[in-house]
Amino acid sequence: MQKVNLSDKLSGFDEVWSPKIVGELNGQYVKLVKARGEYVWHHHEKEDEMFLVVRGRLSIHLRDRIVDLHEGEFFIVPRGIEHKPVAPETAELLLFEPAATRNTGNVDHAYTVEADKLERI
Amino acid sequence: MQKVNLSDKLSGFDEVWSPKIVGELNGQYVKLVKARGEYVWHHHEKEDEMFLVVRGRLSIHLRDRIVDLHEGEFFIVPRGIEHKPVAPETAELLLFEPAATRNTGNVDHAYTVEADKLERI
């Protein structure tokens, strides 16, 4: 039961595409992640996923369009929908999703971290 | 499936202590609320509740301490824990909580809005 300062937590790591758990409630995780470059196309079979931009810009590529997010904007990718996040420069994101969510969804990739192996910061 | 700009949504209403739904995922709601003055002591029997300060300051009074939150800080009030949010000046907050969450929890109050009556904006 401690408060979390997003900037403090974000200043504590540099890796990109490596989500860190900063909160847990009702079976959901609050995560912080830094993004830079192109992620991998994937989907989550059973989980909706929320991306909130804390700093920078993020483009979420969907198969039929691109959603451009700036600071203070969020987008929810519904379960089953293929998506590929892309950040032209380093972006800082808050994610909200079920604790069971695997970061690369249905895809095995160098970025994959199994849900039970995620770091808590 | 549209992005949400927090500032745009927040500029659309003035009432305090009246949460608006701006997103839904995995049985949870994302809500925005403006806070000013003292709320009512209450708890939620089955729901953990997350308060993220988008603008301003919020003090979450607990029975044994006060958690002071500034912009970019969040706190999760675990289920069953009595709390009373207090905002000295108008604060803008993002809430994450299960869709079933009643805003005044176990207490009936003028601020009470039943979960199925919340406005979506």
Helix, strand, coil in percent for chain A, rounding step 5: 5, 50, 45
Q: Which amino acid is at A110?
A: A
Q: How many CB atoms lie within 10 A of CB B119?
A: 12
Cβ-nearest to B25 among A25, A48, A70:
A48
Q: Given CATH 1.10.3720.10, say whether it is the number of domain B6-120.
A: no
The C-alpha atoms of residue B21 and residue B10 are separated, in whole angstroms, by 11
pLDDT digits (tens, 9 = 90+) for B54-91: 999 999 999 999 999 999 999 999 999 999 999 999 99
Helix (H, G, I), strand (E, B) or coil at B9: helix
Rounded mean pLDDT, A88-99: 97
Residues of A in contact with B48 (CB under 8 A): 25-26
pLDDT digits (tens, 9 = 90+) for B4-32: 999 999 999 999 999 999 999 999 999 99
Pairing, β A28-38 against β A4-5: unpaired
Q: Mutate which of A5, A10, A24, A25 to disrupt the B interface (most B C-beta within 10 Å)?
A: A25
Query: Tokens 């790591």 belong to which residue?
Result: A13
ipTM of the complex: 0.95
* CATH, domain A6-103, list 3.30.70.1230, 1.10.150.530, 1.20.1110.10, 2.60.120.10: 2.60.120.10
Q: How many CB atoms lie within 10 A of CB B15?
A: 11
pLDDT digits (tens, 9 = 90+) for A24-46: 999 999 999 999 999 999 999 99
Nearest CA-CA distance, residue B12 and chain A, Å: 15
The C-alpha atoms of residue B73 and residue B51 are separated, in whole angstroms, by 8
Is A97 within 8 Å of B26 when comparing Cβ atoms? Answer: yes
The C-alpha atoms of residue B29 and residue B13 are separated, in whole angstroms, by 18
Residues of B in contact with A72 (CB under 8 A): 5-7, 54
Is B28 within 8 Å of A26 when comparing Cβ atoms? Answer: yes
Q: In the prediction, which pLDDT does A1 show?
A: 85
Domain ranges of chain B: 6-120
Is A76 within 8 Å of B25 when comparing Cβ atoms? Answer: yes
Q: How many CB atoms lie within 10 A of CB A55?
A: 16
